[in-house]
């Protein structure tokens, strides 16, 4: 099952890895393993897998390029749905810095104050939300 999905997303995943690598170098060597550690702050509320379920927050698979508030079976705040945000490195950086400042009224918690933490986490998310990082994969 996971294998089939992995094959289906392979070309997207490959593109994402290249993009993540480019992002990493432009951001000054994002540390993916550090990003993965920071992800632990999010796991109580989010999943990354294609068939991941919604928890307190929506599943994040396919996040990059997705409009905010667009997972169909998740109940978002009207504020996030109406925000007009499309998720990319820039918008995620702002949201993860201070979600309430970016989207007043969102039910997502505060943020990460360190820019480096955010860029590492975003680099990790970019890889993981395309299915490129199967759990436990080393490099």
Whole-angstrom distance, CA of residue 24 vs CA of residue 131: 18
Q: Which stretch binds ligand HEC (CB under 6 A): 2-10, 15-23, 25-33, 68-76?
A: 68-76
Smaller CB distance to ligand HEC: residue 65 or 136? 65
- In the range 81-120, which residues lie near ligand HEC by CB under 6 A? 87, 92, 96, 106-109
- Please tell me whether residue 76 binds ligand HEC under the rule CB under 6 A: yes
Q: Is 127 in the site for ligand HEC (CB under 6 A)?
A: no
CB of 29 to ligand HEC, least distance (A): 20
By CB atoms closer than 10 A (0-12, 13-18, 19+), residue 105 is: exposed
3-state secondary structure of 40: coil
Nearer to ligand HEC, 17 or 100 (CB): 100
Task: Give yes or no for residue 41 binding ligand HEC (CB under 6 A).
Answer: yes
CA dihedral 39, 42, 45, 48 (to 10 degrees): -30
Helix-, strand-, coil-residue percentages of the chain, each rounded to 5: 45, 0, 55
Q: How far is the CB of 43 from ligand HEC (least distance, A)?
A: 8
- Using CA atoms, how far residue 123 sits from 38, 106, 132, in Å, is 11, 23, 12
d(CA 68, CA 81): 6
- Contact footprint for ligand HEC (CB under 6 A): 41-42, 44-46, 56-58, 60, 63, 68-69, 71, 76-77, 79-80, 87, 92, 96, 106-109
């Amino acid at each position: 099952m996971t294998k089939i999905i992995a094959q289906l997303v392979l070309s997207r995943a490959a593109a994402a890895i290249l993009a993540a690598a480019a992002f990493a170098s432009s951001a000054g060597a994002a540390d993916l393993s550090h990003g993965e550690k920071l992800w632990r702050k999010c796991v109580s509320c989010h999943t990354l897998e294609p068939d991941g379920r919604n928890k307190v927050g929506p599943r994040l698979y396919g996040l990059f390029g997705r409009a905010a508030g667009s997972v169909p079976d998740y109940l978002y705040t009207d504020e996030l749905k109406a925000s007009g945000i499309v998720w990319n490195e820039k918008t995620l950086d702002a949201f993860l810095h201070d979600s309430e400042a970016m989207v007043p009224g969102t039910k997502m918690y505060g943020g990460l104050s360190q820019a480096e933490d955010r860029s590492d986490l975003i680099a990790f998310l970019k890889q993981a939300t395309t299915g490129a990082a199967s759990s436990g994969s080393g490099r």
